[in-house]
A and B are shown apart, each in its own frame.
Chain A
Amino acid sequence: MRKKIYILVSLMMLAALLMTACGPKTEEPIEEVEETGIDCMGAEEGDEITMLYQWSGAEEENLNQILQPFVEACGVTISAESTRDQALLDTRVQAGTPPDIAFWNVTQLQQYKDQLFTMPELGVVEENYPDFWTTLGSVDGEWLGLPVKADPKSLVWYSPANFDEAGYAVPETWDALESLVEQMVADGQVPWSLGFESADATGWTGTDFIQDILLVTQGPDFVRGIIDGSVPYNDPAVAEAWEIYGKWATSEEYTVGGADGTVSTGFNDAILLVFSDPAEAMMVKQSGFAGGTIRETYPDLEYGTGYAFFGVPGVQGLQGGSDWMMAFSDKPAVKALIAYLSGEVGGQKWAEVGFDLTPNEAGRGMYLNDELQDKGEILYGAEDYVPDIGDSIPGGFGSAEFTGVTDYVNGSRELTDILDTLAGIQAEALGE
């Protein structure tokens, strides 16, 4: 009896399955593709792209939003993994099972140069990228990575309200900035908030500032020279930049709390000192994230009136971080993704989502908030873009640089001694 019922039930289920299988197929999204302007490069429905990146949480959500039109148009599946551990990527690449796409730092282009496909052979839309981006992403003359996200550091944050009240104008040149600083001191104001305490990375805000000064006084080629080792770190021009910075960072007239204040004020607190009431300083030099810090503590401040920024005046190239997309595969879906992100639609979408800035010039003017829009103007108007010296030199140069600037401001070592030590580490790191 029971057996019969089972047979009956299974027959019915089989029939039901067959019926659904024979049902009308879902519509092909071909027409939609033309509307969206996304070229799928022959990628087929159900193709898979494997990805590895460092983003998680809100950042990962941003990326998903940016990729969504592409995923919908081409029907590819993206299987992504998020990790902060570069060793994972290293292991996969060495084992011969890399992801199709990795989003990582510019130094990985050099590291994986033998495994990567070049951007032109993957069909990148070149005209959306100025030369300095392709140069930065090239190894031995081959363009290997697509810059997808940029975070310029050469920014000075200030309170427009306080500037108006005191009658100060945003400086257009380095000389104007220097005289503005002197003007502020003469008016009894403290111009800078240079605090750079950051646990065991104390000093990084200082080295960022020094690199910006070098970009003003010497330019991007000089900074790249330091990174590749052709300019030793104890070059007199470097010493000069340290002294310009040191004059401000060690004096109570120029920065909150003088040398003690610089070494012991946390970098986040240093940002806030400019926007407290009453303000303790007029300006703070800090990367793009400062806007978020300000909004979090002072939600009432509006961008443009309560807080704003200007690019470090006179820099001959921006300093900043950037994220790069590199491809270990040249299958159609990967080509389609690169075409999408480097093209009009992807660039605009990146800007609309507002995941920092996209170096893709199609994003220009497409940001939905003023702060990113203005930051974008600084990025798209830049003559050049150089990465952080400390991040780019392998080994312990970065942390030695932090310690160096901390010792310098605290007065525990002579500048020449510090720079000689750093030049030694630089030579050792790049010599081998």
Chain B
Amino acid sequence: MAKPKASAVMKQGKLTPWLYLLPALIVMTFFIVYPMINTIALSFQNKDGTASAATTCKEGEPCWGIFENYRYALTEELDTTSFTSFWNTFWQSSYGNTIQWILIMVSGTVILGLLIALLVDRVSYEPLAKSLIFMPMAISFVGAGVIWKFMYNFNAGRTQIGLLNAIISGLGGDPVAFISNTDINTFMLIVVGIWMWTGFCMTILSSALKSVPEELLEAARIDGANEFQIFFRIMLPIIMPTVVVVITTMVINVLKLFDIVYVMTGGNFETEVIATRMYTEMYKNYQTGRGTAIAVILIIAIFPFIIMNIRRFMAQEAQR
């Protein structure tokens, strides 16, 4: 008599988890899986999804057949006549700019965040200092873009209303067109990103630093280690898993970055990043095929980082 009862329990056990998952699965299918499959399908079609992308090829021009939208997405911004022209156009393209964003913004936010977390740990007004640094996170990207557009404002007339240019011209210098000068503008936009996201990195890294056992540090000090050694040899290795998570999260954030560029330059002046280019193709040029091809490239670029993050989380779960 006991046997069938046990198997009934087993049967129930197989089905129940799926029932619990069902609402989430339905939502995921509708809002993530279906749009993603549709995006991939559209990326192989023409601008309004009515024919294959191969039909948009023009005679006498390079053509990748069904991958034509990907050819456009990957090579259109580049001048491949010589290596130098390729190199120069690459760093002006949305891909080159996105790489600059990743390199400068991720290292900037993580290093600054770590530094601030370390320093404020040693002062009595830590909560105040941390909330000041964290405050920009509470502002929307669009709001931050508008604020910094004023900071960088370059006035063609005599008076400078932009804070930075007012200071520069107040000191007798020539005002700088921060936003339209193609040599510096991407960097100036990245500064806005760093300003916004340093608080996020700082908060997470600070809590990680606080979890480093005090006894370890005490022991190291007694053994004669100086503060630099303590940081690099003890603290950093201990918080390394957190640092990696922060880095991957920031890389994903930066790859998706859209608002700052859109608000401050609209993608003009060689500041285009992958996400703004996707938007431009999709909603300003009405090129659904090209827009979705860029979206797919963006998904592929983000994928490894998401996997890294998930692995990290799984490892942490396993430790518990």
Enumerate chain A residues within 8 angstroms of B182, measured Cβ to Cβ. Answer: 410, 412
Q: Does A261 contact B (CB under 8 A)?
A: yes
Is B100 interfacial (CB 8 A cutoff)?
A: no
A360 interface contact, C-beta 8 A = no
Chain A residues with Cβ below 8 Å from B286 are: 394-396
Q: Does B280 contact A (CB under 8 A)?
A: yes
Asked whether A410 lies within 8 Å of B157 as measured between CB atoms, the reply is no
What 0/1 readout, one digit per residue, does chain A (258-279) give for beta carbons within 8 Å of chain B? 1011111100010001001000
Q: Is B200's CB within 8 Å of the partner chain A?
A: no
A114 close to chain B: CB less than 8 A? no
Whether A200 and B266, one on each chain, are in contact in the complex, defined by CB atoms closer than 8 angstroms, is yes
A135 to B270, CA, bound (A): 42
Report the Cα distance A399→B280, complex, angstroms.
9
Q: Nearest A residue to B284 by beta-carbon distance? A: A399
Measured between beta carbons, the chain B residues less than 8 angstroms from A203 are 268
A199 at interface by CB-CB < 8 Å: yes
The answer to whether the Cβ of A195 comes within 8 Å of any Cβ in the partner chain is yes
Min CB distance B249 to A, Å, is 28
Shortest distance from the beta carbon of B291 to any chain A beta carbon, whole Å: 10
- Taking A199-B263, A201-B266, A395-B286 as contacts, is the C-beta distance between A260 and B280 under 8 angstroms? no
B109 in the interface, Cβ–Cβ < 8 Å?
Answer: no
Which of chain B's residues has its CB closest to A417's CB?
B79
Residues of B within 8 A of A258 (CB): 156
Complex CA distance for A224 and B151, rounded to whole angstroms = 43
Asked if B269 CB lies within 8 Å of chain A CBs, one says: yes
> In this assembly, does B154 line the interface, its C-beta being within 8 Å of a C-beta of chain A?
yes
Which residues, 271 to 287 on B, are CB-close (under 8 Å) to A? 280-281, 284-287
- Which chain A residue has the least Cβ–Cβ distance from B176? A260
Contact B156 A273 (CB under 8 A): yes
Contact mask for chain B residues 136-154; partner A; CB cutoff 8 A; 1 contact, 0 none: 0000000000000000011
Q: How far is the CB of B205 from chain A (nearest CB, A)?
A: 35
Q: A201-B266, A263-B269 are in contact. Are A273 and B157 (CB under 8 A)?
A: yes
Q: Which residues of A have CB within 8 Å of B177?
A: 260, 263-264
Nearest opposing residue in chain B for A199, CB measure: B266
Those of B227-247 within 8 Å (CB) of chain A: none
| Complex interface bits, A219-263 against B, C-beta within 8 A gives 1, otherwise 0 | 000000000000000000000000000000000000111101111
Residues of B within 8 A of A276 (CB): 157
Q: A280-B157, A395-B286, A399-B280 are in contact. Are A260 and B181 (CB under 8 A)?
A: yes
- Chain B residues within 8 Å of A256, by CB: 156-157
- Contact, CB under 8 Å: A410 / B269: yes
**A412 and B270 contacting across the interface, CB-CB below 8 Å:** yes
**Residue B80 lies at the interface, judged by CB distance under 8 Å to chain A:** no
Does residue B113 face the partner (Cβ distance < 8 Å to A)?
no
**A198 (CB) vs chain B CBs: closest residue:** B266
Given A195-B156, A202-B266, A406-B268: A264 and B179 within 8 A (CB)?
yes
Against A, the Cβ 8 Å flags (1 = close, 0 = not) of B36-66 are 0000000000010000000000000000000
Interface size class on chain B is 20 to 34
Are B269 and A395 neighbours in the complex by a CB distance under 8 Å? no
Determine the residue in chain B with the shortest Cβ distance to A203: B268
**Cβ-based interface call for A107 (8 A):** no
Answer whether residue A403 sits at the interface, using C-beta atoms and an 8 A cutoff: yes
Q: A395-B286, A410-B180 are in contact. Are A264 and B268 (CB under 8 A)?
A: no
Alpha-carbon distance A200/B286, docked complex (angstroms):
15
In this assembly, does B197 line the interface, its C-beta being within 8 Å of a C-beta of chain A? no
A378 sits at the interface (CB 8 A) = no
Point out the residues of chain B lying under 8 angstroms from A400, CB to CB.
285
Main secondary structure of the interface of B (DSSP, over half): loop
Query: Is there contact, CB below 8 Å, between A396 and B156?
Result: no
Q: Which residue of A lies closest to B179 (CB)?
A: A264
Query: Smallest Cβ distance from A147 to chain B, in angstroms?
Result: 27
Most interface-central of B156, B180, B265 (chain A CB within 10 A): B156
> Contact: B155 with A265, CB < 8 Å?
yes
| B14 contacts the other chain (CB 8 A) | no
Given A260-B180, A264-B179: A403 in contact with B157 (beta carbons within 8 A): no
Interface residues as binary, A196-212 with B (CB distance below 8 Å gives 1, 0 otherwise): 00011111000000000
User: What's the least CB distance linking A48 to chain B, in Å?
Assistant: 37
For the complex, what is the distance from the CA of A264 to the CA of B161, rounded to whole Å? 13
In the assembly, what is the distance between CA of A256 and CA of B155, in Å? Answer: 9
A141 to chain B, nearest CB (A): 29
Complex CA–CA separation, A394 to B155 (angstroms): 35
Query: Are A263 and B157 also in contact (CB < 8 A) when A396-B284, A396-B285 are?
Result: no
Distance A258 CA – B181 CA, assembled complex (angstroms): 13
Q: A264 contacts B156, CB within 8 Å?
A: yes
Answer whether residue B95 sits at the interface, using C-beta atoms and an 8 A cutoff.
no
Chain B residues with Cβ below 8 Å from A263 are 177, 180, 268-269
Of all chain A residues, which has the CB nearest B153? A264
B164 to chain A, nearest CB (A): 13
- In the complex, what residues of B have CB within 8 A of residue A280's CB? 156-158
**How near does chain B come to A406, taking the closest CB pair, in angstroms?**
5
Q: Which residues of B contact A410 (CB under 8 A)?
A: 180, 182, 268-269
A203–B269 Cα distance when bound, in Å, is 12
Taking CB atoms, residues of chain A closer than 8 Å to B108 are none
CA distance A99 to B318 in the complex (A): 64
Q: In this complex, what residue of A is CB-closest to B92?
A: A412
Give the residue name and chain of the B residue nearest to A260 (CB): B177
Closest-CB distance, B84 to chain A (whole angstroms): 16
Docked CA distance A380–B108 (Å): 61
What is the chain A residue whose CB lies nearest that of B270? A412
For the complex, give the distance between the alpha carbons of A400 and B280 in Å.
9
Fill in one digit per residue for B85-108: 1 if any A CB lies within 8 Å of its CB, else 0.
000000010000000000000000
- Please, which residues of chain A bring their CB within 8 A of the CB of B263? 199
Tell me if B134 is interfacial: C-beta within 8 Å of chain A: no
Given contact pairs A199-B263, A260-B180, A399-B285, enumerate 5 new A-B contacts (beta carbons under 8 Å): A260-B177, A265-B157, A395-B286, A400-B285, A406-B268
Q: Please list the 8 inter-chain residue pairs (A to B) with the smallest Cβ-Cβ separation, ordered nearest first.
A: A257-B156, A261-B156, A396-B285, A200-B266, A260-B177, A399-B284, A256-B156, A280-B157
Q: List 23 A-B contacts (CB under 8 A).
A: A193-B156, A200-B262, A200-B266, A200-B284, A203-B268, A257-B154, A257-B157, A258-B156, A260-B156, A261-B154, A261-B156, A263-B269, A264-B156, A264-B179, A265-B155, A273-B157, A276-B157, A395-B286, A396-B281, A396-B285, A396-B286, A400-B285, A412-B182
